[in-house]
Structure 1
Amino acid sequence: MELQKPRGTRDFLFKEMKERKLVENTMRKVFETYGYQEIKTPIFEDLSLFTLKSGEGIIEEIYHFQDKGGRDLALRPELTAPVARIYLNELQKAAKPLKMYYFGSCFRYERPQAGRFRQFWQMGCELIGGKSPDSEAEIIAMAAHCLEELKLKDYQIHLGNLGILRGILSQDSVSADQQDQIMALIDKGDVEELKKLLGDLKLPENSKNILLKLVGMRGHQDIIDKVKNIIKDFPDALESLEELETLLEMLEAFGFADYTVNLGIARGLDYYTGTVFEIYVEGLGAQKQISGGGTYNLIEIFGGEKVESTGFAFGFDRVMGALKIQETSTQVERRVDVFVTPISSEMKLHAFEIAQNLRKSGISTDVELVGRKLKKTLSFASNSGARFVVLIGARELEENKLTIKDMESGDQEQVPLEMVKDILLDRINNKE
């Protein structure tokens, strides 16, 4: 019987895990620089947490099961709903705004394809209780800051405001459910089906033309005046456009101006209420979106008070894919800095003792455990990336000395046993 990993999952070996950890830690550092604190939620939750947010239809797309007590549970398909739940359970009385970030795996039962897996990772944040558009400006600037630190090139941040489109639809008495259908088609980019639906709803011809024109508009701050002229007869839409204009001004203050205004962003989820944004990287094919977010009102849907929240999540696996395609250098640390090996089997216990002393001094150290001959041990140490090999021979040890071999230059020297730790620390800390 051949054992295989489940469909839609992956194994990550040593080098890839080091690369993923480096990217994860880079993002963590940026989040914490902005005052966000990490939280962790369960991998499985009550099924109702996700059906309440997304409807019963989501059951077909997620891993759900009953436990031995007959409770309906589900592996989390995303992390925003668990964050809303933890806020309702633990944080309603906490001082606001609340800034939190998370990193974890999610699960969706869908057809695996390039850039889309059944187990995947998200790294994101939520800002609960902040004011719009201040919170949105910081969130967008922070997302860009993460990608700058990772040296990812050619990413595009597209942003819009759902209130512009909803303002037009509401003025024409389009129901909330019908608006959600329209937004879902805009999110998919299905213009033909959108035209058909707008016709079926008997939307006024003028409003229909305005909507179709808006969802195709792209530009920078310069398109704001054009949009104002187009929607001048829709006061609610104009108010949302003014929010978007203020957001763009704030982004300038945050030192970020490399964005695209895209009024065709809908996000496809009915709990988004205002600003929305998505980040794309060309070269990833159909899965070019590496992040998405915006302002939402999920907590009220779950029965809490109305509290404005803004957040986003990186599709961590897609970020890794983009870095790989661009061949962006991730400086992966060596496996160890020092490899300790006895020259003869009689020195084995001394090797263990010396290796352990180096480890307790904070030096990453491996030690020969297989009993290889010296030539093969040196080859193994070199392949492991060790900078130095400490050789322990009987004659040198009698003189209270050890041999340090520099694996890059090939030079080696005998040093007093009591100075080995300090010499290695100095060379490791000062060596490029």
Structure 2
Amino acid sequence: MHAWPASEVPALPGKGRDLQIHDTATQGTITLAPGPVARIYVCGITPYDATHIGHAATYNAFDLVQRVWLDTKRQVHYVQNVTDVDDPLLERALRDGHDWTELAERETALFREDMTALRMLPPQHYIGAVEAIPGIVPLVERLRDAGAAYELDGDVYFSVESDAHFGGVSNLDAEAMRLLSAERGGDPDRPGKKNPLDPMLWMAARPGEPSWDGGSLGRGRPGWHIECVAIALDHLGMGFDIQGGGSDLAFPHHEMGASHAQVLTGEFPMAKAYVHAGMVALHGEKMSKSKGNLVFVSALRRAGVDPAAIRLALLSHHYRADWEWTDDVLAEAVARLERWRAAVSRPDGLPADALVEEVREALSNDLDAPAALAAVDRWVDAQNASDGDDESAPGLVSRTVDALLGVAL
């Protein structure tokens, strides 16, 4: 599966700072200092509907991570999946009378268009769950053969008790886990399971649903968590720098995935940092496909909203914060974009070397994008209030905003 085209990232003078980031597992801020190549895995979409602002906010956060690392003169090895076979996708296709593969392909194509418009840097490897199945089957077989998985009516489940570190990503108690498991695709009340929290690794073929040859597992399709584990281990290996996604993925998805990988490899941890973006609400409730309270990036673009303004609206909130999308949020972003473009359109201006360092400092501090925007606002206000004579300043500001914030002025 192909990703989307990459926008050029301008080189800035000097060198950026190492990233300090909040780690869900340790519940504190840690400093990441990768080697020459930084490794990141971000969980992708289930393509049964278009990209909404909540998606965009999540991918914007991890785009900033890439930009901070690139500014430190590192390479970035970024992997993202597409859950192109799953219950919600099949249910939506059945409801609307569409072929599920065509629905997945159409919505994935629209996602690529939205990511391109928002100037999100693409992953080096963009992998669909379906294409990963040949690599998933042997992992499930290994877990079963090692006694870390068991069969129940043809389905194969992972035993969470096989991982001594289980629970260490989300830090939730058993009851909270059970409630979230029921809400987020698990089946804690299924009779016969060894532990209510045990997640499915391989679902035996159901009538009318797609299935694949699972070797000794029989025909079926993979569970949600093992999909990402197979892709991450194949392309990044253990101990990669960041496992990322929305905060609703901390449990069960990232918790279960970590346990799968740790039992498979005997190594700990799967990722050095588990980083989670906050949720975006609309009319007082979290945006979700199930509720239908969505603002789509593609719809905003069709209405003539500049993608740079959409991105500035996302950047105006800290990535870990839960916040609400409103008309005012977008209007403020549109006005900010106009002010910034006017300021850098002048032939000369106030020196901007200090601004570069302010933006770097803000983003290295747990991706504090609002502080970075405030720094640019201060330069713009000063630029508009005085007559500078530095001919290089407007260009340097434009390159800084482009390279570190992903906004083209």
TM-score, normalising length: structure 1:
0.21
Q: Which has the higher strand share?
A: 1
Select the structure of larger CA radius of gyration: 1
TM-score, normalising length: structure 2:
0.22
